[in-house]
A and B are shown apart, each in its own frame.
Chain A
Amino acid sequence: MNSIDKSPVASTTPRIVVREAAAPRPRWQVLLIRPETVTLLLLVLATIVASHLSPFFADLGFILESSTYYIEFAIVALVLTLVIISGEIDLSPAAQMALSACLFGTAFKAGLPMPVAMGVSLLAGLVMGAFNGFLVTVLRLPSIIVTIGTLILYRGLAQVLAGDKSIGGFPGWFVGIDYRMVGIVPVPVLVFVAASLLLGLFLGITIYGRQIYQIGTSEIAAIHAGIRVRRIKMGLFIASGITSSIAGLMVASRLGSVRYDLASGAELTMVLIVMLGGTYIFGGRGSILGTFLAAWLLVIIATGMTVANIAINAQLTVMGLLLIVSIIATNAIYARSQR
């Protein structure tokens, strides 16, 4: 204790309280209570439980094959991670996937060559993302409600475009991306791994990556530090749109056809992956590594439940519960660790 604190004159002169700074946490503790560590532990745990449920499960090839359904959403979740770290949210990617895929299908049906039709789809993703970005950064509307509005709008436009019919008949080379293998690894998984590496590096070592964290931690401070907040956010929304249209094309290839209800309800899956990975819902914290691990956690859980014969509809319960529990847990972890 400090002597100034105890001195009797303290009652007449202003008290000077000297507090010792909290001792820094040991490094192992900091690492252990990181959300990514929790995700990794859960991943190991889930794998053990799932392989006890069925002997087929312990087969890496089986897991990789069954992952392709979730990997499409996981790819979008990588970009969504950046958006949430920057303090915004995008609930519209699933609808963007549907609309861009339906545009692709319509363009193909109209007789355009495949590369042009795919270009149309990517352009649509860019425009949709830019529209979200415009509403959020130029009109300064809250992204959370804006993207609910655009989610209904984009899905509705997909419905107008495709009606309740499915559009198919794509050429053979386009169909079945999930059956194209490199070794035992399906192509979509490779795309996911490559995108994770790329975005992980972007977020971790480029100046833009650091700026995204700064924007999410304190937007006002970021503006005063001369960071081009609007431009970066606009870029993130556009990236989200383009990635969604790529994911939409992958679904179209996997299913061999497109419908307006493609990826319906997938906003839950995407947000769930990001939250499971320990990204802080209020912005400023999170990592691509976490999202990467969480994607595999979700694949294991979902495949495990399917192997255990739990109906898809009942699985919704677990997914919803997981989302809520993971955001409570992440919140608790960040509230404990020093801000």
Chain B
Amino acid sequence: MNSIARLFRAREAGILVMLVLFVAVVGLIQPRFVSVDTLRIVLLAVPLILVAAMGQMMVLVSRNVDLSIGSILGFSAIAAGMIFRDHPEWPLSVGFAVGVLSGAALGFVNGLVVTVFRLPSIIVTLGTLSLYRGLLFILSGSKQIDPNDIPEPLIRMAQTSPIDIPWIVIIAFAVAFATWLFLTYTQVGRQIYAIGSNPAAAPLRGIRVMPVTILVFTLSGALAGLAGLIYAARFGYVNPGITGVGFEFTVIAAVVIGGVSINGGVGSVLGTVLGVLLLGSVQVALPILGVSGFWQNAIYGAIILIALVIDRTVRQGGLRGLLARGGA
């Protein structure tokens, strides 16, 4: 147990070192990268990914994956945006509720299909990725939500707050803190780890795998829904064909850099937060370094593959274990 605890600590320390090294190297090449302004840009880039990453992290810990969060984000943003547009007299909280609850409902459907029919989540969510995208086109009538439809208070949440840090940043870190409390101090939170470490053994220890897994997908959907509202606040418009497309890959990249194992059972909130910060820094650093934005996806893909190899290396006990013959 002790050695496992040490490994966790080592993982997060490793990510932190990578983050510091990255900032240092970029800062050496382009000194203006290390500044309060950059920090502010990174902090603004982070909430969208961070909120959804908390959900995706829980899904990965339970040994599943959710590819549909990009479409859920788009769906929730459209649903909330339509409330804002059609009923400007209603309070902001109604739009928030619609966004988060619609996300939760879509996540619930994912969880239900995966658990009831015992299907691999990757294929199910590949299906719902398109299903939900199609539904949001039907819901929105292919019309986008314009900046003047989005209420002023929501836009302000991406800019100001009492303590000079935008509200959306505070919300995102509050979500991360709540996730940490949930995973560390509740029984259900620990059960998610147990299910991911050994799905066959979990029911033998009295864990009800089905409801817990459904809950994990529902939470992931709800958080993607919240991310949809953050998207609307930050960008001021929602386009059915663009909003959230490919978002799942960004989030998975961030979570995997954060040391969450895709084989389930392993992952921490702190690591995920650091992973998101590192990815956010990469995003901000590319244009500052004069690298074309076209490189972004290639870098994400490479990051996921490198993280996979590192993860496997750690578990196999070094490179020799990694390349050992036998098995398949």
Contacts and interface: CB of A to CB of B under 8 A. Distances in A.
Interface of A: 89, 91, 135, 137-142, 144-146, 148-157, 159-160, 163-164, 219, 223, 229-230, 233, 265, 267-268, 271-272, 275, 281-282, 311, 313-321, 323-324, 327-328, 331
Contacts of B298: 152-153, 156-157, 159-160
Given A265-B130, A324-B131, 18 more contacts: A141-B312, A142-B263, A145-B65, A148-B249, A149-B308, A152-B304, A156-B296, A156-B301, A157-B298, A268-B127, A268-B130, A281-B120, A311-B142, A314-B134, A316-B131, A317-B130, A317-B134, A324-B113
Given A148-B249, A160-B294, A219-B328, A324 B128 contact: yes
Contact of A316 (B130, B299, B300): B130
16 contacts: A148-B304, A149-B304, A152-B249, A152-B304, A156-B297, A156-B300, A160-B294, A265-B130, A281-B123, A311-B137, A311-B142, A317-B130, A317-B138, A320-B131, A327-B124, A331-B117
Interface of B: 65, 113, 117-120, 122-124, 126-135, 137-138, 142, 240-241, 249, 252-253, 262-263, 292, 294-302, 304-305, 308-309, 312, 322-323, 327-328
B131 A317 contact: yes
B135 to A, nearest CB: 6
B138 A267 contact: no
A223 B327 CA distance: 8
Contacts of A137: 328
A275 B123 CA distance: 10
A153 B328 contact: no
A200 B120 CA distance: 27
A160 B309 contact: no
Nearest to B296: A156
A323 B126 contact: yes
Given A135-B305, A140-B328, A319 B134 contact: yes
Contact of B127 (A141, A314, A320): A320
Contact of B305 (A149, A311, A317): A149
Nearest to A219: B328
Nearest to B130: A320
Nearest to A154: B301
Contacts of B299: 156
A169 B26 CA distance: 40
Most chain A CB within 10 A, of B65, B133, B241, B328, is at: B328
Nearest to A229: B328
